[in-house]
Amino acid sequence: MDPSGRWNLHVRDEERLLAEAAEYRGESLWQDAWRRLKRDRTAFWSMIFLAVFVALSLFAPLLPLPSPIALDLKAEPQPPVWTELGNRGFDYTFETDDDYKLAYWDLYWHDKRLVDVRKAVFGDWQTGRWFGTDSKGRDLLSRIVWGSRTSIWVAFAATLCSLVIGVTYGAFSGLIGGRVDNLMMRIVDVLYSIPFIFVVIFILTFLSEPRQDLETESLVDKGWVFFIVIGAIYWLTMARVVRGQVLSLKNSEFIEAARAVGASTARILFVHVVPNVLSVVIVYLTLTIPAIMLFEAFLSFLGLGIEPPKVSWGLLAVDGTDAINPIRTFWWLVVFPAGAMGSTLLALNFLGDGLRDALDPKLRGKH
């Protein structure tokens, strides 16, 4: 068909209009939400805080921190020292792969490269005992930063896992509707009714035996099993949330309008449904991430999560509670890990709150 059509619709000076139209660019709902989020100070600073925290944990090997696992068995927990900025105690050399295991644990190759950079830049300089040391003489600051890696990335990966399964499952179920929808949601109902704490404990206990054999053949990574198990639980609510949204969207007039011009189901799903569901999903994610972080801490607390020598915030909490005794209080072992975790969770909640307001079309006003 001729693009100008049989009606031969044209305006004068199309080219000029098209150029001028570029200056009348509208503000999309995403831009509008972003603008309003920036204006919400609590949410905005929470976001900055989280970004800094994520950056810290991402670049932990690059930072001049002491080794998180270097033991000093003769010493009992040392209180924080704020007078000494740093010292030249980081006397590791990294030549073979096993050298890294002395200062850290079995790192991924990219982390090893970051460690190399750190060694080249800072040499053997390391920070002092800013946060004190734990009962085995390990530097607490270093352990918190390295622990955040585990906690944040467990939360991130598990959330991603639940996001992918949940959104796909929920959107598909809602869009297809009818018997398929009915069946899919009954499956979710059944899964919901299983007490998952016990299932996870069971799976992890079950896996911990053969896991060690498998790991020597490097088939299964403990961390990944962990991510997937947690993600596989949290997708249930996500699927329900998304399905509910899709159901209400499915009958909205703009979806009908798209169907009336002959849009395919895939087009409707990806062009119209998903972008409109996304705002709800994002808000829900900010609630899922803290829940998963707490769950990880809980499992580590029970001894089912991350295993030493690796460190996570849950493990630090265990150390902290061990250090509470009536004779001497090693307060820093409780305050700093709890503070790190608490402030992160708080920031996430503030951000979620701000996002909910920013993404709510009703608060945008009518035009």
Partner 1 sequence: MSALLEVEDLHKHFPVGKRGLFGRPASWLRAVDGVSFTLERGESLGLVGESGCGKSTTARTVIGLQRATSGSVRLDGAELTHMTRAELQAYRQRMQMIFQDPYASLDPRQTVGSILTEPLIIHGIGRSRERKLRALALLDAVGLNPRHVNRYPHEFSGGQRQRIGIARALALEPDLILCDEPVSALDVSIQAQIVNLLKELQERFGLAYLFIAHDLAVVRQLCHRVAVMYLGRVVETAPRDDLYRDPKHPYTRALLSAVPVPDPRVEETRERIVLEGDVPNPSDPPTGCSFHPRCPERGNVPGDRCAVEIPALEELGARRLRACHLEADDGPRS
Partner 2 sequence: MALLDVRDLSVRFETHQGTVRAVERVSFRLERGETLGIVGESGSGKSVTCLAILGLIPSPPGVVESGAVDFDGRDLLKLSAAELRHVRGNEISMIFQDPMTSLNPLLTVARQLTEVLEIHEGVSHREARKRAAAALGDVGIPHPEARLDAYPHELSGGMRQRAMIAMALLCEPVVLFADEPTTALDVTIQAQILELMGELQRKRGTAIVLITHDLGVVAGMADRVHVMYAGRLVETGTTHALFAAPQHPYTRGLLESVPTLTGDPDAELHSIDGQPPDLAALPSGCAFAPRCELVVDGCRSAVPPLEPVPGADPAAGDRRAACFEVKP
Binding site for partner 2 (CB under 8 A): 36, 363-365, 367
Is residue 258 close enough to count as binding partner 1 by CB under 8 A?
yes
What binding mask, one character per residue, do residues 273-302 give for partner 1 by CB under 8 A, x or -?
--xx--------------------------
Distance CA 125, CA 134 (A): 21
Please provide the distance, in angstroms rounded to a whole number, between the alpha carbons at the two ends of the chain: 37
Distance CA 115, CA 125 (A): 13
The only residue of 128, 259, 331, 334 in contact with partner 1, by rule CB under 8 A: 259
Asked if residues 351 and 38 have their Cβ atoms less than 8 Å apart, the reply is no
Is residue 267 close enough to count as binding partner 1 by CB under 8 A?
yes
Q: Which is nearer to partner 2, 25 or 367 (CB)?
A: 367
Asked if residues 122 and 34 have their Cβ atoms less than 8 Å apart, the reply is no
Distance CA 103, CA 124 (A): 12
Q: Which is nearer to partner 2, 179 or 367 (CB)?
A: 367
Residue 178 binding target from partner 2, partner 1, none, CB below 5 to 8 Å by type: none
Q: Strand 126-127 and strand 86-87: pairing?
A: antiparallel
The only residue of 11, 120, 266, 327 in contact with partner 1, by rule CB under 8 A: 11
Is residue 179 close enough to count as binding partner 1 by CB under 8 A?
yes
Tokens of 101: 């295991």
Residue 91 binding target from partner 1, partner 2, none, CB below 5 to 8 Å by type: none
Q: Which is nearer to partner 1, 20 or 72 (CB)?
A: 20
Distance (Å) of CA 265 to CA 71, 171, 271, 362: 60, 11, 10, 28
Tokens of 94: 């990294």
Q: Which is nearer to partner 1, 120 or 261 (CB)?
A: 261
Q: How many helices (H) and strands (E) does the chain have?
A: 14, 2
User: Considering the complex, what minimum distance in angstroms separates the CB of residue 356 from partner 2?
Assistant: 15
Footprint of partner 1 on this chain (CB under 8 A)?
Answer: 1, 3-7, 9-11, 14, 17-18, 20-30, 179, 182, 186, 252-254, 256-264, 267, 271-272, 275-276, 361, 364, 367
